[in-house]
Amino acid sequence: MAHVRKAVIPAAGLGTRFLPATKVVPKEMLPIVDRPAIQYVIEEAVAAGIEDFLIITAPSKKALEDHFDRSFELEALLESRSKDAALDEVRRISELAKFHFTRQGAPLGLGHAIGMARNYVGDESFAVLLPDDILVDQGALLSQMISQHAETGSVIVAAGHYPLEEVVSYGVIDPGEIKGDVINVNSIVEKPPIAEAASNYGLAPGRYVFPSSIFDAIDATKPGVGGEIQITDAIASMISGVGVQATLNRNDRYDAGQKLDWLRATVEIALDHDELGPGFRDVLAQIIAKHDVTPAQSTP
């Protein structure tokens, strides 16, 4: 079974949950500690063996293209000033993989965005990573999903166990047989009403491994929740064919498109940072001592 070397990153969303920061800056470019959020997702995929990316963007998101391109002026300046470490870091970004970009002309849904990758993908199996979801697992989950796909040829989605009020913001799975981290999927519904949620298993983090036959399924998918072409509906239509399995994510996942979770990501990733971690630990201890850091009665 083919090795998965291509990934599609749908990054056309407007980031309205993070306004006003995202009025001009794409939400994927908001920094978490010292790099933009999307760079974590790219590095995760590269660690899982991905070599080539198609990033689906929108007008006003040119910064994404610039970030992964060479920057000759900046590199020449850093070189002339002997800023070697900064130069290596800047060059490393464009050397992580091959990057291609296309624009989703209109916001017609996640399924539609992924459908735009048909010609890029050809007849290979490929991965999709939603850039709001940040994992710091060195590609462990995606590698596991790619192996599972290689064994079965099925569609592989990532899933997590969430409180009922939360799971209904995701695609929700009706699980069949569960063996370790592998869940057989009997049915899957995008953002069901609470009373209709089949389980607490939600499709998050947004990680998928697809055979190329997903494109025919997307083409046959009618608009669903929100009047958009939903990838979840296209996946549901493949259950009776190649089959759908979920891989359970057991690591932390941050929703970087949401203010509170972005703060959590920033603090935790900073604490684990090789260079900044020790100093930040002291700063954080001082902040906690200075403020009355006890949980609020109710979280907003």
Q: How far is the CB of 192 from ligand G1P (least distance, A)?
A: 11
Single residue of 15, 36, 202, 211 touching ligand G1P by CB under 6 A: 202
Nearer to ligand G1P, 78 or 113 (CB): 113
Q: Judged by CB under 6 A, does residue 171 bind ligand G1P?
A: yes
Q: Judged by CB under 6 A, does residue 155 bind ligand G1P?
A: no
Single residue of 204, 209, 234, 239 touching ligand G1P by CB under 6 A: 204
Q: How far is the CB of 288 from ligand G1P (least distance, A)?
A: 30
Nearer to ligand G1P, 36 or 206 (CB): 206
Q: How far is the CB of 92 from ligand G1P (least distance, A)?
A: 28
Nearer to ligand G1P, 44 or 190 (CB): 190
DSSP notation for the chain = -----EEEEE-----GGGTTTTTTS-GGGSEETTEEHHHHHHHHHHHTT--EEEEEE-TT-HHHHHHHS--HHHHHHHHHTT-HHHHHHHHHHHHSSEEEEEE-SS---HHHHHHTTHHHHTTS-EEEE-TTEEE-STTHHHHHHHHHHHHH-SEEEEEEE--HHHHTTSEEEEEEEEETTEEEEEEEEES--GGG---SEE--S-EEEE-TTHHHHHHTPPP-GGGS--HHHHHHTTTTTT-EEEEE--S-EEETTSHHHHHHHHHHHHHH-TTTHHHHHHHHHHHHHHTT-S--SS--
Q: Interacting stretch for ligand G1P, rule CB under 6 A, among 86-94, 99-107, 178-186, 201-209?
A: 201-209
- Could you count the other beta carbons within 10 Å of the beta carbon of residue 287? 11
**Residues between 74 and 113 with contacts to ligand G1P, criterion CB under 6 A:** 110
Pairing of strands 98-103, 52-57: parallel
Nearer to ligand G1P, 26 or 202 (CB): 202
Q: Judged by CB under 6 A, does residue 130 bind ligand G1P?
A: yes
For residue 241, what are the CA distances in angstroms to 153, 225, 237, 238? 10, 23, 8, 5
Nearer to ligand G1P, 12 or 50 (CB): 12
Single residue of 154, 190, 249, 254 touching ligand G1P by CB under 6 A: 190
Q: How far is the CB of 34 from ligand G1P (least distance, A)?
A: 24
Q: How far is the CB of 22 from ligand G1P (least distance, A)?
A: 15
Spatial distance between the Cα atoms of 158 and 241, rounded to a whole number of angstroms: 19
Number of residues that bind ligand G1P (CB under 6 A): 12
Cis peptide bond prior to 10, omega within 30° of 0? no
Task: Please list the residues that pair with 55 across neighbouring strands.
Answer: 9, 101
Q: Interacting stretch for ligand G1P, rule CB under 6 A, among 16-24, 83-91, 114-122, 203-211?
A: 203-211
Q: How far is the CB of 122 from ligand G1P (least distance, A)?
A: 25
Single residue of 28, 133, 137, 233 touching ligand G1P by CB under 6 A: 133
Single residue of 232, 245, 247, 249 touching ligand G1P by CB under 6 A: 232
Query: Token pair for residue 177?
Result: 């047989």
Q: Judged by CB under 6 A, does residue 203 bind ligand G1P?
A: yes
**Residues making contact with ligand G1P (CB under 6 A):** 110, 130, 133, 170-171, 190, 202-204, 206, 230, 232
